Chains A and B, each alone.
Chain A
Amino acid sequence: MGGLTKRYGALLALDDVGFDVPRGQIIGFLGPNGSGKTTTMRAIMRLVTLDAGDVTWDGAPVDAGVRQRFGYMPAERGMYPRMKLRDHLTYYGELSGLGTARARAAADRWLERLGLAGRADDTIQSLSSGNQQRVQLALALLNDPDLLVLDEPFSGLDPIAVEMLSDVLREQVDRGAALLLSSHQLDLVADVCSGVVIVDRGRVVLRGDVATLRAGSETRYVAVEFEQPVDWRPGPGSEVSAGGRRHRVTVATGADADRLIDEARALAPVVGYSFLPPDLSEVFLGAVGRDTLEDPDHERRVPT
């Protein structure tokens, strides 16, 4: 897709946004709150009318028929609270064009897979929020979609659920689906994704695979952990943890890290050390020239 532009009054929510989501890959769509992720995903699902730009799938514009082959998990979770799990999934499966028998089979298959088979006849509102999120995921997966669009799928999940969700998502791309997921926590999902698109204020600021983006940064970090608290100030870009045992020094890409580590080892006994590129969020902050993910000078409105 390319050239996606959307205005809400004076606010330019999307400014010429464009990227690809290939089959068999998980693309992380990252950016701070209010950066335009939800609007972009709604545009892919044809829920907002764009002022410019178009979304295509296999070279053809996304119409209602193509969209029927997509799976969607909206940022705002929503289900009928008083419907039973199986009925709800079956109903949505039928709306997705599966036909009653296949919709019911898909519902039971996903309830089983997500560990909710025993709750099939309970109502949605009787579930914990974590379990409701599983059902919400199942709704997106029922029709074995070609493209999965998941808006903040990891938000509110505990580590075990994150692990299970990651497994399910990998299965989906292994079967050949294309997958786009968004997150405002840039580093949380970096491991799951084969590529990322980072947006800020409605514009794409970075894109590529995570390792390349991090490696492409001009800075590196040398981290050293001492046995005892140590007063060590090797340069202007050095930070010390509260206990005084862990130190981190920011250096240029070509800097001599060995020299720094030798210096540290000469100073006091060292437990461990590392030489690493910056995290994705740090790459992002460097790219947009800010020190925080929050957007202080730009009052943005999230269209919900």
Chain B
Amino acid sequence: MSDERPADATGVVRLVARRELVERLRARSFAVATGLLVVIILAIGVIARLNSDEGDDALDVALAGDVPAGFEEATGQIAALFERTTTITPFDDADGARAAVEDGDADVAVAGDAGQVVFHEDVDQQVLALLQQAWANAQVQESLAGAGLDEQQVTDALTTTSLEAVTIDGDDGNDGLALLTGTLAGILLFISLQTFGTYVLTGVVEEKATAVVELLLVRARGSQMLAGKVIGIGTAALLQFALAIAAALASLAISDIEVPGEIWSALPLTLVWFLGGYALYSTLFALAGSLVSRQEDAQAAAMPIMSVLLLAYVMVFTFGSDPESTVSTVMSMLPPIAPLLMPMRMAAGAASVVEVAVALVLLALAILVAWAVTGRIYEQVLLRRGTRISWRDAASLIR
């Protein structure tokens, strides 16, 4: 007698998810948090770039007194081997050159008469070695010329082959950078899982606290409302997280630091860990929320879940120094820990493909179990308002 469409499950889930997503996107806090996150991550790259511009590549040398002929040329050649450019400024006397270093106009001074290399504070071993080598080359060149060799002979005598650096375990690239990136990824994952898990938690509690859940339950099943909420908030979460990862990649590119291959692949893969972690934790947060009827009780009900998430977070730092240890390897495959710890180990190049695969399979299984358990309990407790339902009582509803 009516032209209403019958209630179809995916349609209901889509409606619920859309409402949740729109609510998140409309909130000013979401836009502010996302913007802030992206700006901070980009800023790290920009700062790294500025530091490297000042510190590493360009070398200002103040030169005074007698130096071997060809020292300036030799300095430039040797510096090029270290991928550095040099600017050499001659001074009338050693005091002027020292003053230039003291004022910060030059990175280092070479006082030819005294045979000194003058640094401001700390001795930069690379710069010292570089100047030492140039000095020696120039001296040898001068000596050879003095011995009567012609220019070609001098050049031939000075032409040497350089040694190639190899490592026995293979080059891990930049360990410090990998660790930093992995740790930052862990922090980002923790913040996102915690933030959006809490959105799911308070969202479920809000529906119970305001009693709107009774109205909804005559139009949708509890599992549909749960799925819609998790998907809707998850879409907002994924959007923010993907922007953060894109910003991180851009930040690395901006920084102009030489980035090991693992990091370029580990960062986008962090999205997968985020999705898995979110699916697991948000479902459990929803379950915790369904057990209470007041926002004041929400944090207490979510304590066990929050504790596990926090534990995973701490492990990122605990095992940061030793990502290849056995304990770290085992821990990184446990479903509640994996989403935070495994990305760190992957960025550090410490995780094998098998370990990653095992962790992913276990995580998927854990999500299925969490979903099944929550589905059993959720609908039964949504209309039970009043005092908080204990986890033990909730467990008795699974059967």
Complex alpha-carbon distance, A274 and B152, angstroms? 138
Whether a CB of chain A sits under 8 angstroms from the CB of B354 is: no
Of A45, A47, A48, A79, which one neighbours B212 at CB under 8 angstroms? A79
Whether, in the assembled complex, B15 has its beta carbon less than 8 Å from a beta carbon of chain A, the answer is yes
B: number of interface residues (CB 8 Å): 28
Residues of B within 8 A of A94 (CB): 15
Q: Judge whether A78 and B219 touch: CB under 8 Å.
A: no
Q: Does B211 contact A (CB under 8 A)?
A: yes
Assess whether A45 is in contact with B218, with CB atoms less than 8 Å apart: yes
Closest to B219 in A: A95
Complex interface: chain A residues within 8 A of B4 (CB)? 68-69, 96-98, 143
The secondary-structure label for the interface of chain A is loop
Contact A74 B211 (CB under 8 A): yes
- B207 to chain A: which residues have CB within 8 Å? 80
- Is B315's beta carbon under 8 Å from chain A? no
Q: Is A304 an interface residue (CB 8 A)?
A: yes
Once the chains are docked, how many angstroms separate the CA of A140 from the CA of B2?
17
Cβ distance A246 to chain B, nearest Cβ, rounded Å: 43
Complex partner residue of A47 from B2, B6, B12, B217, CB under 8 angstroms: B217
Please tell me if the beta carbons of B7 and A65 are within 8 angstroms of each other in the complex.
Answer: yes
Known: A47-B383, A94-B15, A96-B4. A80 touches B211 (CB 8 A): no
**A304-B215 contact in complex given A68-B7, A91-B15, A98-B4, C-beta closer than 8 Å:** no
Q: With an 8 A cutoff between CB atoms, is A221 at the interface?
A: no
Contact A96 B219 (CB under 8 A): yes
CA distance A46 to B220 in the complex (A): 11
B72 located at the interface, meaning its Cβ lies under 8 Å from any Cβ of chain A in the complex: no
Using CB atoms, name the residue of chain B closest to A69: B2
Pairwise interchain contact B217-A95, C-beta atoms closer than 8 A: no
A61 interface residue (CB < 8 Å to B): no
Does A226 sit at the interface, judged by CB under 8 A?
A: no
- Enumerate chain A residues within 8 angstroms of B107, measured Cβ to Cβ: none
Give a binary string over A32-43; 1 marks a CB under 8 Å from any B CB, 0 the rest: 000000000010
A4 to chain B, nearest CB (A): 17
Which residues of A from 145 to 195 have beta carbons under 8 Å from B?
A: 146
- In the complex, which of the residues B12, B23, B219 has the most CB atoms of chain A within 10 Å of its own CB atom? B219
Q: B215 touching A139 by the CB < 8 A rule?
A: yes
State whether A68 touches B215 (Cβ < 8 A).
no
A284 within 8 A of B: no
Which of A72, A76, A95 lies in contact with B15, CB distance below 8 A? A95
Q: Which residues of A contact B383 (CB under 8 A)?
A: 42, 47-48
With beta carbons under 8 angstroms apart, the residue of A64, A72, A78, A304 that contacts B386 is A304
What separation, in Å, do the CA atoms of A146 and B383 have in the docked complex?
A: 25
A113 within 8 A of B: no
Q: What CA separation (Å) do A113 and B6 show in the bound complex? A: 27
Chain B interfacial positions (CB closer than 8 Å to A): 1-2, 4-7, 12, 15-16, 19, 23, 206-207, 210-221, 383, 385-386
Would you give 23 A-B contacts (Cβ < 8 Å), ordered by A? A42-B383, A45-B218, A46-B218, A47-B217, A64-B221, A65-B6, A65-B7, A68-B219, A70-B218, A74-B211, A74-B214, A78-B215, A79-B210, A80-B212, A92-B215, A92-B219, A95-B16, A95-B216, A97-B4, A97-B7, A146-B1, A304-B385, A304-B386
A-B complex: 7 closest residue pairs judged by Cβ atoms = A78-B211, A78-B212, A76-B211, A95-B219, A97-B4, A74-B214, A78-B210
Given contacts A65-B6, A97-B5, 8 further A-B contacts (CB under 8 A): A45-B218, A65-B7, A70-B218, A78-B214, A80-B212, A95-B15, A95-B16, A96-B219
